[in-house]
Amino acid sequence: MMMQKKKNRKKQSDGSFLPRPLALLLAVATVFSLTYLWLHGRCEALGTQLKDLELRKVELQKQRVNEESKLANMKSPRQIEYLLQKHNLAMVWPDERQIVRMHRAPAGLAPATAVVMAHKQPGMPRFAATMND
């Protein structure tokens, strides 16, 4: 008969290296840690983006003020007169007969009725018109 070797019970493993509750706790802690790191990185990225956008906003506000100043300068009477002379444009103010006056329609009347009434009033120009707000 052949003799079989006995197995050493101490060298046999009958379970896992870590107990199940500890392995589960480590897995949950790992998931929470990775989630925290991802959220932290996302918040940092959004904070940086917000900071860049605020700087851009300040730059655009400065640019808007600068452009408004340029526009105000271009619309000034002195600048308009200068440009008229520079380009040899002889412009004069319109005659009283060339001016069309816009009148508000009386309350309660339809706009078309107000136009007809404006034509019938003495002293009104022939091409009177109304404006609705």
pLDDT digits over 76-106, tens only?
999 999 999 999 998 888 899 898 888 777 7
Q: Is 40 within a domain?
A: yes
Judge whether 52 lies within some domain: yes
pTM of the model: 0.47
State the Cα–Cα distance between residues 99 and 124, nearest whole angstrom. Answer: 11
Q: Under 8 Å CB-to-CB from 127, ≥6 apart: which residues?
A: 100
- Both tokens of 30, joined, read 């790992």
What is the model's pLDDT at position 106?
A: 72
Give Cα 96 to chain centroid, integer Å. Answer: 46
Other CB atoms within a 10 A radius of the CB of residue 114 amount to: 19
Structure tokens at 111: 């706009």
In a domain, 127, yes or no: yes
With respect to residue 46, please indicate whether it lies within any of the assigned structural domains. Answer: yes
129 pLDDT band, cuts 50/70/90, is: low
- Whether the predicted pLDDT of 119 surpasses 60: no
Q: For residue 115, is it within any domain?
A: yes
User: Number of structural domains, the chain?
Assistant: 2
Query: Bigger pLDDT: 34 or 111?
Result: 34
| 33: in domain | yes
Structural domain range at position 100: 95-131
Q: What are phi and psi of 124, to 5 degrees?
A: -85, 140
Tally of CA atoms within 13 A in the half-sphere of 6 that contains its CB: 3
- Kindly state whether residue 102 falls inside one of the protein's structural domains: yes
Residue 121 CB-density burial (10 A; 0-12 exposed, 13-18 middle, 19+ buried): exposed
Which pLDDT value is given to residue 74? 93
